[in-house]
Chains A and B, each alone.
Chain A
Amino acid sequence: MNATNKVINPILELTGVGIEFPTPKGSFKALTDVNLKIAKGEMISLIGHSGCGKSTVLNIVAGLLQATEGGAVLEGKEVNEPGPERAVVFQNHSLLPWLTAYENVELAVKTVFDKSKSKTEMKEWIEHNLNLVHMGHAMHKRPDEISGGMKQRVGIARALAMEPKILLMDEPFGALDALTRAHLQDSVMEIQKELGNTIIMITHDVDEAGLLSDRIVMMTNGPAATIGEILEIDLPHPRNRIELADDAKYNHYRQQVLSFLYEKQRKVEPLIKPTKKESSSAKQSA
């Protein structure tokens, strides 16, 4: 495939991944021939138009969906069911609303470290992870008592607390306002610098992809979507959004992603969908 997809010793390897969904009108092929190798500690962004199957790729890695062709291999083991070594940060936080922030993280920690950590160690570990996302001050609040950005922080803390081999983020900041999003992006950069997690993140946001990732994986439009291009972002970490805004290299990368999304994979959707009658009369006249 692409030259930038040659990773030696990958932690995660997707080979010829495709998926078909059965529908009443026959099967629908959503993905085809997705090949991707990810190195340990890498931060990958998946970008593409909505409906192109980004989430499907992520769900296959998470084990929530089963690929009908090819498969995903994590550290030499095939992925065929969900598990905490592939923690997911969901788009709408998905915290259990009847538990406090602490209890939400606790549920994850108790299941993952059932035998390997003592009670006091668990408590320390939960608090450590909540402090890491700057939620130490509100750890005993329930989700409905904290803001959207704070909920997403707790969601990230819960995922990090599982000590995953790979962290999967499904549009983690999509539902947040621009300022909160910037805060959380900084937090993620900070955490990744500290822990060196391997991360796959889905995003719609070109700037977000450019700011955070080591590589941007661009997907073609569905049906039968696949990887179109992979762009390596060769900018030193830590990155600063203000400096990048004026950086020629960064702007060049940005231009390339934009050109992929809006020229090569331009999604043509009519503003007004023709009604059945009109389209059939159009056929007759043709």
Chain B
Amino acid sequence: MTNKITKLPNSFFNWGSLTDDVMPLWMQETVKTIMLPIAGLLFFLFIWAAVAQNINTSLGEFPGPTKAFEQFQSLISEHNAEREKEVAFYQRQEDRNAARLAQDPSYQVKIRSYTGKPTFIDQIGTSLITVLTGFILASIVAIPLGIMIGLSKNLYAAANPVIQLFKPVSPLAWLPLVTMVVSAVYTSDDPLFAKSFITSVITVLLCSLWPTVINTAVGTASISPDLLNVSKVLRLKPMTHIFKVVIPSAIPMVFTGLRLSLGIAWMVLIAAEMLAQNPGLGKFVWDEFQNGSSNSLGRIMVAVLVIGLIGFLLDRIMLMLQRVFSWDKQAVLR
């Protein structure tokens, strides 16, 4: 009895222990993993709606959540309409060609491709392809480079100033140089990729290289000296040493670098697309800005949220890959 009395005032002031007493564990988990994030999002929507009402621009009132949602729906329906138009376009061609073939069997069929304007959804697809190309190319360069630098103290000392010099460079500074070099070097009558695509990919690559290089090098260099001694006592061959001891030991740091790199790649891409006029979300935002209709701000707001959402999803995908590949299952993954 006395126990109960001394406990009551305690749990009265301590919310944590109050919930311990009242709520079963599964309910506490639900609150933590679902309710609290939803509450955070609702709070954000509330602030957004409240602030938006009070901002007036030359293009009208700043779009609130409702307006942005309307624009989202209209972007989707535009996309569907465009797809229907495309299907109809090819259907018409086929009908026409069939008719001509019936008249004149020697007629050579020509199919003209549809040249409609890319929709918002198409732009998302283009952006994803560009960012992944740049990021994968960057990783192919960065991971072996990082391992090499991490293995040798001398190489590390030599490479470090170069890395530190280029790491903070903004993509906007690279872009003009890359554009000029690509125009000069990439000349072909029948290019496999558009020049703007190559420019964006290279810019993304140059900016997203460094976090992976640095983290891989640090991960490789900070391998436990005990494990190095094990490798020496076993007289492991250099390749066995790298693949059995060094790389597994560096894997958690490599993934930290890859996640940072992918985040940077996605941010850089949007800026590059705006300036390089490469089709994609960045160009979409820029075009809407130039367009300046009463719907433009709402559409840009949709793009902003979609950019954020995709960035978040890309990070989650990397995290899942890390869970699959890393031996360190107990490490805290955030």
The answer for the CA separation of A211 and B327 in the assembled complex, in Å, is 39
The answer for the CA separation of A87 and B235 in the assembled complex, in Å, is 11
CB distance from A72 to the nearest CB of B (A): 15
**Which residues of A45-81 are within 8 A (CB) of B?**
62-64, 81
- Chain B residue numbers with a CB within 8 Å of A92 are 226
Question: Do the beta carbons of A96 and B233 come within 8 Å of each other?
Answer: no
- Which B-chain residue is minimally distant from A86 (CB atoms)? B233
- Which B-chain residue is minimally distant from A114 (CB atoms)? B237
Q: Tell me the total A-B contact number using a CB cutoff of 8 A.
A: 53
Q: Which of B202-210, B240-248, B300-308 binds A?
A: B240-248
B328 at the interface (CB under 8 A from A): yes
- Chain B residue numbers with a CB within 8 Å of A97 are 327-328
Given contacts A64-B229, A111-B236, 8 further A-B contacts (CB under 8 A): A62-B233, A88-B229, A94-B229, A96-B227, A96-B249, A98-B327, A112-B234, A144-B330
The answer for the CA separation of A81 and B229 in the assembled complex, in Å, is 11
B85 at the interface (CB under 8 A from A): no
A82 at the interface (CB under 8 A from B): yes
Q: Which one, B224, B233, B244, B251, contacts A82 given CB within 8 A?
A: B233
- Chain A residue numbers with a CB within 8 Å of B327 are 97-98, 142
A107 at the interface (CB under 8 A from B): yes
Question: Do the beta carbons of A98 and B233 come within 8 Å of each other?
Answer: no
A84 at the interface (CB under 8 A from B): yes
- Chain B residue numbers with a CB within 8 Å of A90 are 226, 229-230
A238 at the interface (CB under 8 A from B): no
Question: Do the beta carbons of B235 and A111 come within 8 Å of each other?
Answer: yes
Q: Which 7 pairs from chain A and chain B are nearest by CB? A: A98-B327, A94-B226, A82-B232, A98-B248, A82-B233, A111-B234, A94-B230
CB distance from B310 to the nearest CB of A (A): 32
A108 at the interface (CB under 8 A from B): yes
Given contacts A94-B226, A97-B327, A98-B327, contact A88 B233 (CB under 8 A): yes
The answer for the CA separation of A90 and B234 in the assembled complex, in Å, is 13
Question: Do the beta carbons of A107 and B244 come within 8 Å of each other?
Answer: yes
**Which residues of A81-124 are within 8 A (CB) of B?**
81-84, 86-88, 90, 92, 94, 96-98, 107-108, 111-112
Question: Do the beta carbons of A64 and B232 come within 8 Å of each other?
Answer: yes
Which of B230, B245, B251 neighbours the largest number of chain A CB atoms within 10 Å of its CB? B230
Given contacts A90-B226, A90-B229, A144-B330, contact A96 B235 (CB under 8 A): no
Question: Do the beta carbons of B233 and A87 come within 8 Å of each other?
Answer: yes
CB distance from A100 to the nearest CB of B (A): 10
Given contacts A94-B226, A97-B328, A144-B330, contact A84 B233 (CB under 8 A): yes
- Chain B residue numbers with a CB within 8 Å of A81 are 232
CB distance from B134 to the nearest CB of A (A): 30
Question: Do the beta carbons of A111 and B245 come within 8 Å of each other?
Answer: no
The answer for the CA separation of A134 and B332 in the assembled complex, in Å, is 32
Q: Which one, A87, A94, A96, A108, contacts B248 given CB within 8 A?
A: A96
Question: Do the beta carbons of A96 and B232 come within 8 Å of each other?
Answer: no
**Which residues of B211-270 are within 8 A (CB) of A?**
224, 226-227, 229-230, 232-236, 240, 244-245, 248-249, 251
- Chain A residue numbers with a CB within 8 Å of B234 are 84, 107-108, 111-112, 162
- Chain B residue numbers with a CB within 8 Å of A142 are 327
The answer for the CA separation of A197 and B85 in the assembled complex, in Å, is 84
- Chain A residue numbers with a CB within 8 Å of B229 are 64, 82, 88, 90, 94
The answer for the CA separation of A149 and B249 in the assembled complex, in Å, is 23
- Chain B residue numbers with a CB within 8 Å of A112 are 234
26 A-B pairs, CB-CB below 8 angstroms? A63-B232, A64-B229, A64-B232, A64-B233, A84-B233, A86-B233, A87-B233, A88-B229, A92-B226, A94-B224, A94-B226, A94-B227, A94-B230, A96-B227, A96-B244, A96-B248, A96-B249, A98-B249, A98-B327, A98-B328, A111-B234, A111-B235, A111-B236, A111-B240, A112-B234, A162-B234
The answer for the CA separation of A7 and B187 in the assembled complex, in Å, is 81
Given contacts A107-B244, A144-B330, contact A96 B230 (CB under 8 A): yes
Which of B233, B240, B248 neighbours the largest number of chain A CB atoms within 10 Å of its CB? B233
CB distance from B72 to the nearest CB of A (A): 45
The answer for the CA separation of A236 and B139 in the assembled complex, in Å, is 63
- Chain A residue numbers with a CB within 8 Å of B244 are 96, 107
- Which B-chain residue is minimally distant from A109 (CB atoms)? B234
CB distance from A115 to the nearest CB of B (A): 14
- Chain B residue numbers with a CB within 8 Å of A88 are 229, 233
CB distance from B224 to the nearest CB of A (A): 8
The answer for the CA separation of A96 and B241 in the assembled complex, in Å, is 12
The answer for the CA separation of A158 and B250 in the assembled complex, in Å, is 23
**Which residues of A144-180 are within 8 A (CB) of B?**
144, 162
CB distance from A94 to the nearest CB of B (A): 4
- Chain B residue numbers with a CB within 8 Å of A96 are 227, 230, 244-245, 248-249
CB distance from B287 to the nearest CB of A (A): 49
The answer for the CA separation of A62 and B233 in the assembled complex, in Å, is 8
